[in-house]
Amino acid sequence: MASYKKFDPRIELLVVETRTVFDPEVEAEIQQLDNELEEQADGEVDTHQLLSALIHSKPELATQIFYERAHTGFTREITVTRADVERLFTELTSASR
């Protein structure tokens, strides 16, 4: 039986929905960053949406992943941690070189 608490490429083929939860430490930092960026941009900034899209595009990088059985497949839930954010930015900066 597959483990539903770690990345599994076989289950990935059956993912029909995604959900993102942010670690409380990361949540506080995101809110602070959004406030600063909104002041500079004179508009609304949604870092949650950007980070969520990034981590779900590379779910193998997530440290906390959970697959929940749904009627037609699986829901992938990722809890974004500080390590995930650091790993994503490292990956992005190395890809841009």
Contact 11, 2 (CB under 8 A): yes
Cα gap 92→84, rounded to integer Å: 12
Tell me if residue 93 falls in helix, strand or coil. helix
Q: What is the pLDDT along the chain (97 residues), one digit of tens a residue?
A: 467 999 999 999 999 999 999 999 999 999 998 888 888 887 788 899 999 999 999 999 999 999 999 999 999 999 999 999 999 989 888 887 7
Give percent helix, percent strand, percent coil of the chain, each to the nearest 5: 50, 20, 25
Cα gap 91→85, rounded to integer Å: 10
